[in-house]
Chain A
Amino acid sequence: MRYRSVLAALATSTFLFATNPATAADLEVTHWWTSGGEAAAAKVLAESYDKLGGDKWVDGAIAGSGSTARPIIVSRILGGNPMGATQLNTGRDAEDLVKAGLMTDLTELATKEGWADFIRPSKLLDACKYEGKIYCVPVNIHSLQWMWINPNAFKDAGAAVPTNWNEFVAAAPKLKEKGVIPLATGDAWQIDGVFRVLLANLGGKELYLKIVDEKSTEAAGSPEMKAVWQAFANARDLADPGYVGRQWNEATSLVLTGKAGGQIMGDWAQGEFGVAGKVAGTDYDCLPGLGVHPALDTGGDAFYFPKNQNPEITKAQLKLASMLVSKETQVAFNLAKGSLPIRGDVDMQAANACMQKGIKILADSNNVLPSYEQAFSSDTQGQIEDLMTEFFADKSMTVEDAQARYVEIIGEAK
């Protein structure tokens, strides 16, 4: 008797699981957009998706930065409990997952809608390709190669407002005298970012490509590269000892309150100036490409769709993918996020002066650099980051030693 009722209960429960609601699917979307502007941007996506009718966007925001969220996302997919869709950075974040066949193939949809025709720069879509098939949807472009300065801090210290990196270094002693931190920076990835920017903009596009694309040890050991390392050593002397453990937005707020002269940080820093009600050109200034070489990389975010047993979810995934690249979504989302759209054919008149500068630079495809994320595995990126932070923290480490180790890492990179 008792066994039978237990059996019945078990049968009912499996029955319940087997018959998921067949018409509409709940699509769980994980992402790490949790700061003010980012959350607003995610909401734009959620609302426009729900408006399409039928399927529902179930928000799975993961607090913390990408380094916290990425392992959670990856282990969920590996553990056989995939979400409907997930944000990751454009590049090699999901490379292994794609290779293992855990991601939904979007090629059919992409060919039908002609993604290759309007996604600009085309490198963005290349980052989603594996063996000719498309596995992700790029949604925005972020570039790292920006420097944000507070002109008033320089004027108060009696120095000329710099228009490029070299003038910035020259003006730094005057800032120091006044008790102003010349260069605000923070924890490990920000220091690594400073080096990436110095490499791209002081080293120039050719050197950058040789290292990032070809992984040339010769270029990594060249005198041109040594000059970049020397500049990085200068940056080390321009930072204050309090940089340890500082968040990027804290560093930005040092700049916008005039406690620091400048910060090398990606275009997302602009959101902070915007929130504080500062005006580009008067309260703060931006130097894309450090004011030396106007070259920007095109990192950003992309959505991946883990393979799913349920065909309804797969259908909902394709619907979301198609929505993400649509014109309306691109404009609304990117204005909220402060990033650039992935389509060249949308109208971004509402963007501010600094964003316009960025759009102009990216219009010339000669100025487009591949981002680190597209070129290096996260393992190699980590090795480089370790070296950068070690060098930055230990003033007794010489440029020569650091460069020798850098050559080694580049040589091992795949």
Chain B
Amino acid sequence: MAGSRRPFTPLRNLNAKIAAVPMILTVLVVFIGCTLWTVVYSFTSSRSLPTLDFVGMDQYVRLFRTSRWTVSLKNLAIFGVLSLSFSLVLGFILAALMDQKIRFENTFRTIFLYPHALSFIVTGLVWQWILTPAYGVQKVVRDLGFETFNFPILTDGRFTIYAIVIAGLWQGTGLVMALMLAGLRNIDDEIWKAARVDGIPAWKTYLFIIIPMMRPVFITTLVIISATIVKVYDLVVALTNGGPGISSEVPAKYVYDLMFSRGNLGQGLAASTIMLTTVLIILVPWALLEFRPRYRKGEASK
């Protein structure tokens, strides 16, 4: 109840409050301040240098008329949906298999987690070598005798974004597996025993008991993967550099190019504002749902 709240004591825990000041300032100035700056200047005609010459929605009109930007958004959607679902599913399956008390578990875990130790740039280059027709998979299969084998994933604009998904999955699934494995290890053995006593098949136990119990782990994983998806840039630069043509462009690359190499700050900031809005549109309802105080009743009865 409102009346029985703690008395207002600003000097309580003073040390802790002082210690939190730098972080609070950082959040206010760096995150919120810079975000506001970005949004404000996205309505100006700023070129290499920011100027407060407001042009209304012009930058946004141009943005959505630019086919490179619309292609970027579409690519991000494809990349996002595919890599999110596949890395969760594959990561969980790998973790579940790993959890069967297999031999050499450590070795396997290292192998699967190893790609994550590489940067996206290295990942991109390695996969470029693997997928390039001239000396990659296509050449190997042709050398085996299948002369007409074609594997144009990097040279045909319709497929390149999937090459990026594949490379991203190769790099990211190991981390998801490790997180999931940690989640699985936290499940009490008693639950497995109880399920076995009740004669529930293993897959049903996973689907209806274990996964719901691992909800926090899934949420952590989701947040981590989503962040990497939205900011995907280096992987694309290393693997395809947006090509062929503009077929594998992504929003972050558009922002970078416009702001730094093409000297059109206004346009770059408008693009990043759209990225922010998209994230907020998805994130805010979910966060409200996820973090709403659902134990209010229990607290009141205490």
Residues of A at under 8 Å CB distance from B? 67, 70-71, 74-75, 78, 95-97, 99-100, 187-188, 241-242, 244-245, 377-379, 381-383, 386, 389-394, 405, 408, 412
- Name the B residues within 8 Å of A381 (CB-CB): 262
22 CB < 8 A contacts A-B: A67-B261, A71-B260, A71-B261, A74-B260, A74-B263, A96-B48, A96-B49, A188-B243, A241-B133, A242-B133, A244-B243, A244-B244, A378-B263, A379-B267, A381-B262, A382-B257, A386-B246, A389-B243, A390-B245, A390-B246, A393-B157, A394-B157
Q: Is B110 an interface residue (CB 8 A)?
A: no
* B117-145 vs A, Cβ < 8 Å mask (1 yes, 0 no): 00000000000100011100000000000
Interface centre among B66, B258, B262 (most CB of A within 10 A): B262
* B302 CB to nearest A CB, Å: 52
- Residue from B68, B128, B156 within 8 A of A386 (CB atoms): B68
Nearest A residue (CB) for B134: A242
What's the nearest-Cβ distance from chain B to residue A401, in Å? 10
- Would you call B80 an interface residue if the criterion is a C-beta within 8 Å of the partner chain's C-beta atoms? no
Task: Give chain B's interface residue range (CB within 8 Å of chain A).
Answer: 20 to 34
- Interface 1/0s, chain B 241-268, versus A by CB < 8 A? 1111111000000000110111110010
Q: Which of B160-194 contact A (CB under 8 A)?
A: none
Counting CB contacts under 8 A, is B155 at the interface? yes
Asked whether any CB of chain A lies closer than 8 Å to the CB of B225, the reply is no
B47, B134, B242: the one contacting A96 at CB < 8 Å is B47
- Extra 20 A-B pairs, beta carbons < 8 Å, given A244-B243, A405-B67: A71-B260, A74-B260, A75-B260, A96-B263, A241-B133, A241-B155, A241-B156, A244-B154, A244-B240, A245-B128, A245-B132, A377-B47, A379-B47, A379-B263, A379-B267, A382-B257, A383-B66, A386-B66, A386-B67, A390-B246
Contact A245 B240 (CB under 8 A): yes
Who on chain A is nearest to B154 by CB? A244
Q: Would you call B264 and A187 a contact (CB within 8 A)?
A: no
Would you give the shortest CB distance from A260 to chain B, in whole angstroms?
Answer: 14
Given contacts A242-B134, A379-B267, contact A393 B244 (CB under 8 A): yes
Q: Is the CB of B48 within 8 A of A242?
A: no
Chain B residues with Cβ below 8 Å from A393 are 157, 243-247
Closest Cβ–Cβ distance, residue B249 to chain A (whole Å): 9
Query: Which chain B positions have C-beta within 8 A of A379?
Result: 47, 258, 262-264, 267
Q: Which residue of B lies closest to A242 (CB)?
A: B134
Asked if A391 and B47 make an inter-chain contact with CB atoms under 8 angstroms apart, the answer reads no
Q: In the assembly, what is the distance between CA of A242 and CA of B241, in Å?
A: 14
A408: which B residues are within 8 A, CB to CB?
65
User: Across the interface, which residues of B come within 8 angstroms of A382, CB to CB?
Assistant: 257-258, 261-262, 264
Residues of A within 8 A of B65 (CB): 408
Q: How far is the CA of A379 from the CA of B271 in the complex (A)?
A: 14
In Å, the complex CA distance between A391 and B244 comes to 10
Given A97-B48, A382-B258, A386-B68: A391 in contact with B245 (beta carbons within 8 A)? yes
Q: Which residue of B lies closest to A94 (CB)?
A: B48
Cross-chain contact of A392 among B152, B155, B245, B257 (Cβ < 8 A): B245
Minimum Cβ distance to chain B for residue A262 (Å): 20
Give the distance in Å from the alpha carbon of A100 to the alpha carbon of B49 in the complex: 8
B134 partner residues in chain A, CB cutoff 8 A:
242
In chain B between 73 and 128, which residues have their CB closer than 8 angstroms to a CB of chain A? 128
**Separation of A405 and B68 alpha carbons in the complex (Å):** 12
In the complex, chain A residues whose CB is within 8 Å of the CB of B157: 393-394
Contact with A along B53-67 (1 / 0, CB 8 A): 000000000100111
Report the bound CA distance from A390 to B244 in whole Å. Answer: 8
CA distance A187 to B267 in the complex (A): 24
> In whole angstroms, how far apart are the Cα atoms of A393 and B249 in the complex?
13
C-alpha gap A386/B257 in the complex (Å) = 11
A187 contacts B241, C-beta separation under 8 Å: yes
CB-CB nearest in chain A for B262? A382
Q: How far is the CA of A78 from the CA of B50 in the complex (A)?
A: 11
Q: How far is the CA of A377 from the CA of B48 in the complex (A)?
A: 11
CB neighbours (8 Å) of A412 from chain B are 62
